[in-house]
Amino acid sequence: MTMVVYTLAPLPLALLELRTPAAAAPYKLQPRARHSLAVFLRCYVESVRVLLLLGPCLLVSYTDTKIMEMPTGLPLPSMGEVAAQLAVYFLVEDYINYWIHRLLHTKWCYDKIHSVHHEFTAPMGYAVWYDHWAEKLLLSVASLAGPAIVPCHITTLWLWFVARLLVGINIHSGFKLPFGLAKFIPFYGGAEQHDYHHYVGGQSQSNFAPVFTYCDYIYGTDKGYRYHKATQAKVTSVSHLLKMGQRFDDDDGF
Residue 212 lies in a domain: yes
Cβ atoms of 179 and 157 within 8 Å: the answer is no
Across 150-167, b (16+ Cβ under 10 Å) vs e yields: ebbbeebbebbbbebbbb
Residue 249 lies in a domain: no
Q: How many distinct structural domains can be found in the chain?
A: 1
pTM here is: 0.85
A 10 A CB-CB count for 182 gives 18
Residue 227 lies in a domain: no
Residue 59 lies in a domain: yes
Residue 128 lies in a domain: yes
Cα angle: 222, vertex 223, 225; to 5 degrees: 65
- In this structure, is the dihedral angle defined by the CA atoms of residues 160, 161, 164 and 165, taken in order, positive or negative? negative
Residue 137 lies in a domain: yes
Q: Tens digits of per-residue pLDDT, 189-245?
A: 889 889 989 988 777 677 899 999 999 999 999 887 877 677 766 665 555 445 544
Band (254; pLDDT cuts 50, 70, 90):
very low
Residue 243 lies in a domain: no
Q: Tens digits of per-residue pLDDT, 9-24?
A: 999 989 988 888 787 8
Q: Which residue has the higher pLDDT, 249 or 27?
A: 27
pLDDT at 232: 66
Residue 130 lies in a domain: yes
The boundaries of the domain holding residue 49 are: 2-72+80-221
Cβ atoms of 150 and 102 within 8 Å: the answer is no
pLDDT at 41: 96
